[in-house]
Amino acid sequence: MSRMRARFFLVSSLIVGLMLETTGPGWCGPPLPPPRSDAVSPTVHPRTNLKQAWQALHASDPETALAIVERVLSFDPGRTEALLLKAVVLRTLGRDADALTAADAAVKGAPQNALAQRTLASVLLDEQRASEARQAAQRAVDIAPGNAACQNILGMTLRAEASTPLPIGQPTTEAQAERQFARNSLLEDAIRAFQTACQERPGFVDAWLDLGLTYADMGRASQATRALQRALSLDPNCAGAHVALGVLRLHQRDESGAERQFDDALRINPNLPAALVDLGSIRYRQHRTEEALKLAQHALQFEAANAPALVLRGTIRRDAGQYSDASQDLELAVTVAPNNASAHAALGTLLLDEGDAEHACAELLKATWCGLDDAAVENNLGLTYKLLAQYKRARVHFDKALALAPASPEIHYNMAVMLSMAGDRAGAAENFEAYLKLSPDAADAPQVRERVQELLHPQTK
C-alpha cells in the first residue's frame, strides 16, 4: 500500500473513530454549522469546541481545526480525545513527528483506550516504524478484539512489516528461505486480521481492499480478485481496488483488462500516482512514448519521490539518449526505494549503455538480490561480465537468461559472441545457429551464417 493511500484511509478512519467510539464528553449533541476561519471561541466548551474542530477538518480547514484543539488543550492538557484529534489534524498537515508526540501523550494518559492505541499505530505506520506500529495495533486489538477498525490497522501494520526493506546484499539460500518464511508468516497473520475485520463489519470497504492486496502479495490471485471485487461491490468508486485489479490483470497477461481498470481508477481520481504509473508502463510497452512520459510526469507532480514513476521517466529518457537526466531519475529512485528491484535494473542498464560495466554489474546484481528473476537482467549481467572478460560468470548469467527466455534470439546471439571470445567455437556456433533459427530473416543473417562456417571449419578460412 502506498504511503498516500495509507494516510488517506487512516486519517478518514480515525475521524470516524473519534466520532463513533469516543465516550468522553465532546462527542454528543447536534451537528454545528461549519466554523468560520475565526471560529475559535474565546470561552472553552470542550464538547462544542471539539465538535467544531472536527467539522473544520471535515471542511478541509485543518489549520482552524488545530487552533481550536490547541485552545482546548491549553485549558485541559491531558484531554484524551483532544490529543487524538490533534494527532489526526497534524497528520493531515503532514506534521508526522508532532502527530506522534500527541498520539503518544494520549496513550500515556489513557493506555487502555483502544482508539488511542490505534491512533498511535497509524502515526507510527506513517513514520515507517512498522514493528512499533504493530505493537500498538496489537494492544488496541487486545483492548477491543471485536473492533473492526482495530483489526484492520493490525493487518495493515503486519503487511507493512512484511514489506520492510532488508539490507541489500547477496543472501544465502538459507537466509532467503528464512526471509520468505518470516514474510509469509506476517502476511498470513495480516490476512487473519483483515478477515476478522470483514466479519465484524461486512461493509468495511477498506478491509476488503486490504485483504485483496494481501492475498495478491501472497500470489493468491483468485482470492485477491474476489476480495477486491467485493470492495467494488460495496463502493464502485474505490480507486485502490481498480488499481489492484489492474495489477492482477497485468500478472495474468491481460493487458487490455488492466488498461480498463487503470482507466476506471483515473476517472475516479485523475491524480492517483499508482494508476498513472501503471498505465504509463502499458503505454511505454505499446511504444506510445509521449503518452507514457506525460503519465510519469503527472504522477511525479503529486509524489516527487515515487520510485516507479522515476524508473519509468528515467527509462524513457535513457531510450532518448538523455543519459544525464535519466541518471538523475534512476539514482533518486534507488535512493528513495533501495529495495526496488526495477530501479536497480534500470540504473544498471543505463550504466551498461554508458560502458560502465563494473557499476552496471553492481546494480544489476542488486536487482537479483531484491528478488527480480528476469531474463533481460540476466542477459545484461552476462554482457557486463563479458565486458569485464569474466567469461565463466558471463556464461552463468546467459544460461539463466535462456532458461527464462529460451526463444530469445538476442540472448542466443549475445551468448554466441561471448563464447567465441572465450574460445568455445562449438558453443558459439551452436548459439549462432539458434539465433538464425529463431530469426532467419534478420538483417545480419548472411554475416552470421558466414561466421558459423568460420567457427565450424576454421581451416577453410
Alpha-carbon span 228 to 212, nearest angstrom? 5
Q: Cα 366 to the chain's mean position, in Å?
A: 18
Q: In whole numbers, what is the pLDDT of the chain averaged over residues?
A: 87
pLDDT of 52: 86
pLDDT of 358: 95
**Domains of the chain (ranges plus CATH)?**
389-461 (1.25.40.10)
Alpha-carbon span 15 to 21, nearest angstrom? 10
Residue 373 phi, psi dihedral angles, 5° rounding:
-110, 90
Determine which helix (DSSP H) or strand (DSSP E) holds 287, and give its type and residue range.
none
* Residue 171 near residue 369, CB atoms below 8 Å: yes
pLDDT of 58: 81
- For 318, the grid coordinates are 535513457
* DSSP track, 298-367: HHHHH-TT-HHHHHHHHHHHHHTT-HHHHHHHHHHHHHH-TT-HHHHHHHHHHHHHTT-HHHHHHHHHHH
Closest CA to 342 of 373, 304, 311, 313: 311
Look at residue 14 and tell me whether its pLDDT is greater than 90: no
* Residue 114 near residue 148, CB atoms below 8 Å: no
Alpha-carbon span 359 to 387, nearest angstrom? 12
Region for 128 from its dihedrals, namely left if φ exceeds 0, alpha if ψ lies in -120 to 50, beta otherwise: left
- Alpha carbon separation from 232 to 35, 103, 211, 238, 252 (Å, rounded): 34, 32, 13, 6, 20
pLDDT of 53: 84
Q: Cα 86 to the chain's mean position, in Å?
A: 28
Alpha-carbon span 163 to 177, nearest angstrom? 15
Confidence of residue 79 (pLDDT cuts 50, 70, 90): confident
Q: Residue written as cell 532488508?
A: 166
Percent of the chain with pLDDT over 70: 87
Mean local confidence (pLDDT), 16-33: 38
- CA-based torsion, 164, 165, 169, 173: positive or negative: positive
Amino acid identity of 329?
A: D
- Per-residue pLDDT of 321-370, as tens digits, reads 999 999 999 999 999 999 899 999 999 999 999 999 999 999 999 999 88
Closest CA to 3 of 131, 122, 87: 122
Closest CA to 411 of 441, 456, 380: 380
* DSSP track, 49-72: HHHHHHHHHHTT-HHHHHHHHHHH
- CA-based torsion, 351, 356, 357, 362: positive or negative: negative
Mean local confidence (pLDDT), 379-402: 96
Mean local confidence (pLDDT), 239-246: 96
Pick from 58-67, 228-237, 290-299: least confident: 58-67
| DSSP one-letter code for 167 | P
- Alpha carbon separation from 148 to 1, 113, 283, 321 (Å, rounded): 19, 15, 40, 52
- Per-residue pLDDT of 254-299, as tens digits, reads 999 999 999 999 999 999 999 999 999 999 999 999 999 999 999 9
Look at residue 24 and tell me whether its pLDDT is greater than 60: no
* Residue 394 near residue 417, CB atoms below 8 Å: no
